[in-house]
Amino acid sequence: MIQLGTSTRGAFSRERDVREAYSAHSGELYGFAVRSLGDSGLAEEAVQETFVRAWRAGDRFDPKIGSLRTWLFAILRNVVIDLGRARAVRPSVAEGGVEPAVEPLDEALQAWQMEEAMRRLGEDHRRVLVETYYRGRPYAEVATELGVPEGTVKSRVYYGLRALRVVLEEMGYED
């Protein structure tokens, strides 16, 4: 059994805790995800998303209530449901393409680093970046939703990306 952190709460407050939990449970989580989703690539994504969500909610883990393994499986179950629903509404990707080999833990840690960098941006910049870049929404649609001119959205994206680069550099990220 893994002893995470020094307190009973906040199991994912340190990178070492995440690595230990990943080493201990990712294989079992992956097996469950493959059986549930029937797709190894999607299963990898599900495990990564599980650890991202666990890291975000790490302060809510309480070993007095249940084990880390049980908590991670509960998160994975929700991720599998979300991915299954998303897959049902999206057309399938063409088969036969070769996906690059990426270490799942490294990818998850990069996602956590990006999330932290985004958190450090101002609300206006963060919102337009999330809506236009991550969700792929058109500038005009976002502008209408925010009640600002389309040019303002474009400007916020431009300055938001510049600010994001500065934040990432301050965090030690190099491209």
> Domains in the chain and their CATH numbers?
15-101 (1.10.1740.10), 120-170 (1.10.10.10)
Residue 153: per-residue pLDDT: 93
β strands within 18-101, DSSP E: none
Angle ∠(89,93,97) on CA atoms, nearest 5: 165
Burial call 145-161: b when 16+ CB within 10 Å, e when fewer:
eeeeeeebbeebbeebe
d(CA 36, CA 46): 10
Total-model pTM: 0.47
Q: What is the mean pLDDT of residues 80-103?
A: 63
Is the Cα torsion angle 164, 169, 172, 174 positive or negative in sign?
positive
List pLDDT tens digits, range 36-89. Answer: 888 888 899 999 999 888 888 887 877 787 788 888 988 888 888 888 777 776
Q: Residue 137 pLDDT > 70, yes or no?
A: yes
Report how far apart, in Å, the C-alpha atoms of 162 and of each of 7, 96, 113, 143, 152 are.
Answer: 38, 37, 17, 20, 15
